[in-house]
Structure 1
């Protein structure tokens, strides 16, 4: 995981969104806030985030529809629904549609932060070893074990870039989204091309595929 866990915050109440964004950034999260379902779907499909905080009642596309479409496209980002619809039937519906957790509004700030920490711990434990086409990425020791038997050592940045691509292997990631989630201290998106080059040298040119005009996605290892 990157030093600053990344959050996609989807909330149509702009005052509440600003408050939550300020709170989370004060806790060390990198937050992208959007205010309608269409933008949420776009960002969820084109970016890579550690947590998605999702309101249900959104303009353009309902929050549960956004969630369903993301899951249908293979996006596994853990989702915490924040909603005024918080009776048991509403919570069950949200969890059945693919959310990992559900918190009713108004919510206690400390409880929100605790639930987010819990999601991060669970998701990190699951994703420490990631199966990728042609090998296994082990984040704890920053290595890729190829199916052919050889082991390739990665730098921290190379490992994080590969892990973000592998988290949603069918997604196309723009350079801008990768800067936002992996290279948060970079001055421009040229650093993405540099580390794609490094990964290709170590794992083969097909390990990271270029989608012309859009960005990059995971490919098979050599």
Structure 2
């Protein structure tokens, strides 16, 4: 977790080098410690260090879409507040970003004072979203503990079980293909059967209805 007594640390993930350099200079002048990377793989590597007070993520990144990067970080238990900064401003795009686990979504072109204010607000938040609550389930992504009326008592998950459940819970109405789940919850492991294995583990611990099979497509969170 970030050290709140030091200067706030900010990670910028954007492949527009001119823009990211401008943002780095801007936030450095505001007293932030800033790291900049230019693709999603580097963003994931830095983000997993979990030493930042906030992260700014572009959508159109090499290697992986920025919203998918947010989803992977959340699945891996990273609770750092995230702002998606992008030219894609349709309502559906905003919903995708927020459902993936971002706290805020700002469309380019933007006003600098507004961006600064939004990041200040994120840095002030005491909780970047460590707990997911959906449809009678509560998942603490730090302790990897599931509770709520659907399970009746606290259940501890493994890291991969928690990652898989987190992906399903961040977009509860979405049908996820095995390939998407491999990317989001299993670091792109190239064995599709691992998804089925961990779905089985989740059902064994939490009940068969917790994950629904969508035949021919993949899986989604089971409705209560």
Q: TM-score, normalised by structure 2?
A: 0.57
**What corresponds to 2:147 in structure 1?**
145
**RMSD (Å), alpha carbons:** 4.4
Tell me whether 1:48 sits opposite 2:50 in the alignment: no
**What corresponds to 2:89 in structure 1?**
64
Q: 1:198 aligns with which of 187, 193, 201?
A: 201
Query: How many residue pairs align between the two structures?
Result: 174
CA distance in 2, matches of 1:185, 1:120: 31
Structure 2: gaps of 5 or more residues: 1-12, 21-36, 49-56, 74-81
CA distance in 2, matches of 1:183, 1:121: 31
Alignment of 1:1-222 (within 5 A): 20-21=38-39, 24-25=42-43, 27-28=45-46, 34=60, 48-50=71-73, 53-56=84-87, 63-65=88-90, 68-72=91-95, 75-78=99-102, 79=104, 81=106, 83=108, 85-87=109-111, 91=114, 125-147=127-149, 149-184=152-187, 186-220=189-223
CA distance in 2, matches of 1:198, 1:190: 13
Cα shift readout 1:103-149 (whole Å, capped 9, x = no counterpart): xxxxxxxxxxxx9xx969969x3432221323322223222223163
Q: TM-score, normalised by structure 1?
A: 0.57
CA distance in 1, matches of 2:161, 2:174: 18
Higher relative contact order (CA 8 A, sep 6+): 1
